[in-house]
Amino acid sequence: MSTSIPLTIQLSGSQGKTGRYEDALRCLGACPLPGYCPLPDLSCDGLLLCGGGDLESTLFGQENRGSNPPDVDRDRAELALFHAFYQAGKPILGICRGMQVINVALGGDLIQDLPADQRVFHGNGDEELVHPIRSLEGSLLHQLYGPLFPVNSIHHQAVHRLGEGLRAIAWSESSFAEAIDCPGRPIFGVQFHPERMAFSHRRPDTIDGAPILSHFLTLCQQAAAR
């Protein structure tokens, strides 16, 4: 995707670990603006909340039940980023941890540590697995990939109770949400990593992640044109 004036996307992620997100956006003609704990920059056309570590459990009203030590500064920075872009009506995409940030920001909570019999499908640490997910008929993912399709997976937490206004649009084999959106708003999140399944990272055993990122940029372009 390309425009005469490149879309600028604010990225928030772990220090030194946003390269794949940046590469994918550049391949689609956008200009990424990455940062660690950045202040909201509403001159950007959209916000991409990247993957990373666990959120502080008290942010969603729970004691620690298997969460890894949080990055408190990043947690608070990304919640502030979400609310700034949300209030401005600008598109937001959350990937893995980023999807969980969206859910917590809107009052939802998380499964802090998937049971061992579920984690065998989803990976943990540096181990990336592949498993099928099913999509909601009529949703973006259903339109792009059909009712059942394989994705990558590397997480031990998951969205549980949905935040206000959110709906699940894809589910794992264990029935927790693998993707969410917010009807009426340009917001969505995926638990998997499309940037690891696109362009130079395209793989034969999963979907192509590029259409998800392209759809996000289309939302950004539409919002910028208003």
Q: Which residues contact 209 (CB under 8 A, 6 or more apart)?
A: 24, 192, 193, 194, 195, 196, 197, 198
Give the C-alpha separation, 22 to 25, whole Å. 5
Residue 2 CB partners (closer than 8 Å, separation 6+): 28, 29
The secondary structure of the chain as a DSSP string is ---SS--EEEEE-STT--HHHHHHHHHTT-EEEEESSPPP-TTSSEEEE---SPPPGGGGT---SSPPPP-HHHHHHHHHHHHHHHHHT--EEEETHHHHHHHHHTT--EESS--HHHHHHH--TT--EEEEEEE-TTSHHHHHH-SEEEEEE--S-EE-SPPTT-EEEEE-TTS-EEEEE-TTSSEEEESS-GGGGSGGG--TTS--SHHHHHHHHHHHHHHHH-
DSSP string, 174-190: TS-EEEEE-TTSSEEEE
Query: Which residues are annotated as catalytic?
Result: 96, 193, 195
In order of their start, the domains of the chain are 8-225 (3.40.50.880)
pLDDT tens per residue across all 226 residues of the chain: 444 689 999 999 999 999 999 999 999 999 999 999 999 999 999 999 999 999 999 999 999 999 999 999 999 999 999 999 999 999 999 999 999 999 999 999 999 999 877 776 777 666 789 999 999 999 999 999 999 999 999 999 999 999 999 999 999 998 999 999 999 999 999 999 999 999 999 999 999 999 999 999 999 999 999 8
**Strand pairing report for 92-95 and 187-190:** parallel
pLDDT at residue number 125: 61
